[in-house]
Amino acid sequence: MYNFIFQNTTKIYFGENQLGHLGEELKQYGTRVLLTYGGGSIKKIGLYDKIMEELQRAGLTVFELSGIEPNPRHTTVNKGADICKKEKIDVLLAVGGGSTIDCTKAIAASAFYEGDSWDLVTHKAPVTKALPVLTVLTLAATGSEMDTGSVISNMDTNEKYGLLHPLLLPKVSFLDPANTYSVSAFQTACGSADILSHVFDVFYFTASEKMDMVDRVMEDVIKTVVKYAPIAVKELDNYEARANLMWASSWALNGFLQTGGFQAASCHAMEHELSAFYDITHGLGLAILTPRWMEYILDESTSPQFKKFGVNVFGVDASLSDMEGAKRAIACLSDFLFKELGLQSTLTEIGMDEANFKVMAKRACRGDVLQGFKPLTPKDVENIFRMCL
């Protein structure tokens, strides 16, 4: 077990009717606010109006950056950073899903950098300072509302990388499950697959030691998603289901489940190549990849953990051998993702072929080996991509 430092200082307002605190929280950081959002969902659900009302009531000066893309682009980060510099912005307010929040975090750091934001994402230049970021989450998936990560895409070069820095941790996040009622069944399913993958990848399935206490909580987060995602997909406005998914999203990646161990995230590294090249929804890519990755790395060393997952989460028969139990577990996970949640199960169905597999596999491995539950070479990753066709 590794030593660790755990510090997560994001203040959470959870539940309905908490936006009355938005003005007082923002004012702690200044009066000039950049409000950021995506393609318009927040206007459709009336959230934009509610937020503007609170900002006006608090007497704040508001600037806006709209149109942040799913898989947010570095060019949009640059636009936001320019506004921050020109308008002397004090604080950023991101209202949306992971893409809006990630883009806003990158803007927060780029506001203090005199160059292309892509330099920060690719670590050519260090993050030295960042504006404070507050968030109003509208989609349960990425954990960005309570983590230090920001994932940015460069569509000119088909690259997508995570920028991680403690300065990017949101100061305050408002989590109202009712704001996710309008998330489509498809995006709900994708978000749920993403939450599961955060637990799997870092690191429920691991070759390293784990703390039993943390392992148990991981299983409870997984079971929460397995219980509530199918409900939310069918009843979009089920508060209990939305609330459980929302809190699971935050806790899957806020650092707590990562305590005591270390591991690179294999499925995430592979998926970021899919979305970098084909601009697909992150959670869908993960859903398609995960069961194939499990199947590919299944052997005597991995089967006990896969079987334990099957027994504890899906009620697989504990008397089966490790190998048989693991196979059942993979089948249960596939049924859950593709039958219960209704996600597409192959890359072919979403218009992908093998044209870019070689280069994507090489990039996923950073040209060398992709670490994880089992180390993967570029050839392995290419094989896994092929299994997804």
Judged by DSSP in three states, 82 sits in helix
Specify whether the CB–CB gap between 149 and 265 falls below 8 A: no
Tokens encoding 85: 């510099």
Give CA angle at 118 (61, 164), nearest 5°: 80
Binding partner of residue 192 among Zn ion, ligand NZQ, none, CB under 5 to 8 Å per kind? none
Binding partner of residue 38 among Zn ion, ligand NZQ, none, CB under 5 to 8 Å per kind? ligand NZQ
What is the three-state SS of 208-230? CCCCHHHHHHHHHHHHHHHHHHH
Judged by DSSP in three states, 64 sits in strand
Applying CB under 5 A, the residues found at the interface with Zn ion are 194
Distance CA 224, CA 218 (A): 10
Beta-sheet strands, E only, within 38-87: 61-65
Contact between 40 and ligand NZQ by CB under 6 A: the answer reads: yes
Contact between 183 and ligand NZQ by CB under 6 A: the answer reads: yes
Smaller CB separation from ligand NZQ, 135 or 305: 135
User: Which single residue brings its beta carbon nearest to Zn ion?
Assistant: 194
Smaller CB separation from Zn ion, 194 or 380: 194
Distance CA 52, CA 365 (A): 44
User: Which single residue brings its beta carbon nearest to ligand NZQ?
Assistant: 38
Smaller CB separation from Zn ion, 180 or 303: 180
Contact between 130 and ligand NZQ by CB under 6 A: the answer reads: no
- 98 contacts: CB under 8 Å, gap ≥ 6: 139, 141, 142, 143, 144, 151, 282
Binding partner of residue 143 among Zn ion, ligand NZQ, none, CB under 5 to 8 Å per kind? ligand NZQ
Among 10, 76, 135, 144, binds ligand NZQ (CB under 6 A): 144
Distance CA 238, CA 143 (A): 21
Q: Count CB-CB contacts under 10 A for residue 39.
A: 15
Smaller CB separation from ligand NZQ, 11 or 43: 43
DSSP letter at 161? E
Question: What is the H or E stretch that residue 85 is in?
Answer: helix 74-87
What's the closest the beta carbon of residue 333 comes to ligand NZQ, in angstroms? Answer: 18
Binding partner of residue 191 among Zn ion, ligand NZQ, none, CB under 5 to 8 Å per kind? ligand NZQ
Number of residues that bind ligand NZQ (CB under 6 A): 34
Contact between 41 and ligand NZQ by CB under 6 A: the answer reads: yes
Contact between 102 and ligand NZQ by CB under 6 A: the answer reads: yes
Instruction: List contacts with ligand NZQ (CB under 6 A).
Output: 38-41, 45, 70-71, 96-100, 102, 138-139, 141-144, 147, 149-151, 179-180, 182-183, 187, 191, 194, 253, 268, 282-283
